[in-house]
Amino acid sequence: MASKSADSIFGWCGRTLVVDLSDRSCRELDTLEYSEDFLGGRGIAARIYWDLVLPETGALDPDNHLIFMTGPLGATGAQGASRFTVTAKSPMTMPEGYCYGNLGGFFGPYLKRAGFDGLVIHGKSEQPVYINITDDTVEFLDASTLWGQGVTHVSQSLKMTHGNSARFITTGPAGETQCRSANIMTDNEGSATGGFGAVMGSKNLKAIVVTGTKYPAVADPESLKSLNKTTIELNRRDSMFLPFPPDEVSRIGRSSCYQCGVDCVYRARLKTASGEEMVRKCQSMFVYFRWVAGRSGESSETALRATGICNDLSLCTMEMFNILTWLTDCNSAGVLTQEQIGLDMSRMGTLGFFEDLAHMIVEQKGLGEALSKGLLRAGDILGPQVRACFAPEVAGVGDGATYSAREYLMNGLLYAFSPRQPIAMLHEVSRLTG
């Protein structure tokens, strides 16, 4: 297609950065060669994936391409347009195959403000590395002091080095040890499921930092401002309901994503009875709640701290919920003894139990070695009796059908065609049902 001048491109920067970690080289793709055929980032990323990733490439091979893509509304000032997609061959699906994840926060819009609509990464660095992108400039920086560190430490270190205006994505120790369900984490407590943290770890890529001062052009800024006002008005709602006892956990504020005036149903800054403040969002804050609530005298703060452990290690909370459910059922059925599990099951519901289980998986010790492969693969390793204890709705990525088509009607079609658990109607239904 004929190239367009910069002042005639609306919503896009027109450039997608391609990085080869093996030789630390960079090139660019013309985003507009894809944007004419695909409305947003997921479609463009899918096309790039099918163009570049060969069928025989393994998810943890250097030739797997990790693709980050924004959409045409990102960084334009459009309300709620913070989302971006990550696509690659997933180590979590069974068998390995095309998959995508979705994140909010600030990284996507700031990638565009740095001058790029998307970022494609392939190859493998010989040493731990992180990428720093600042207004068209790309640097490869040593990550040896960050390797082995949790997301909290990495966040503090990167902010100290690059300033508070820098935004980033990273993976924790679970990604480094290539746990197949390891997440990619943002600086705003967001995460992308699908095992993409393990893909980062397989490339010795610890983090990507972006800082930028650019903005994509908007065709009609005044109409966009008017639309933003309407969007905010349509989304006014009561504050979210928290199932935690109010004397143990209270909501003290919002934790919004980039240029979003819409109050999320479940995304908040919380304060616990001990005085600790934290950001938690959506289903992830409930990963351990069932077991904490069932243990007499245990504070709800334990459930929130368990989520923090997952975030710091970059473990998938949906996978951890299924593992906990499965362990409970295996123990009750006598399929696995306490000695085989390697944990004192009477401590389930305590923070210590959860922390021990999480580190067992990340460090791939004992039963954790099988669980680090993902719940479905662990079933193959441990045998049919163990597989029989899976929740009946566990699907090909190891997730239960949390957002069933029985309630979220659109998901009936999406379950048939999507490589992962779909959540497209989640917040729409939540808004209607409260």
pLDDT tens per residue, range 264-284: 655 677 788 888 887 776 667
Comparing 102-116, 206-220, 221-235, 321-335, which segment has the lowest mean pLDDT? 221-235
DSSP string, 401-425: -TT-TTTSTTHHHHHHH-SS---TT
Contact 116, 17 (CB under 8 A): yes
User: Looking up tokens 């597989």, which residue turns up?
Assistant: 387
Predicted TM-score (pTM) of the model is: 0.92
What's 249-400's CATH class?
mainly alpha
Question: CATH 3.60.9.10 occupies which residues in the chain?
Answer: 6-211
Question: CATH 1.10.569.10 occupies which residues in the chain?
Answer: 249-400
**Tokens representing residue 105 in the block:** 């926060």
Comparing 18-32, 62-76, 161-175, 315-329, which segment has the lowest mean pLDDT? 315-329
374: CB partners within 8 A, 6+ apart: 91, 92, 94, 180, 181, 195, 319, 398
What's 6-211's CATH class?
alpha beta
What is the number of other CB atoms lying within 10 angstroms of the CB of residue 193? Answer: 27
d(CA 324, CA 329): 9
User: What pLDDT does 249 receive?
Assistant: 81
By three-state DSSP, how is residue 318 classified? helix
Among the listed residues 35, 33, 67, 29, the one whose alpha carbon sits nearest the alpha carbon of residue 50: 67
Whether the pLDDT of residue 142 is over 90: the answer is yes
Helices (H), ranges, 169-284: 173-176, 196-202, 221-234
261: CB partners within 8 A, 6+ apart: 79, 228, 232
User: What pLDDT does 415 receive?
Assistant: 77
d(CA 315, CA 174): 6
DSSP secondary structure code for residue 8 in this structure: G
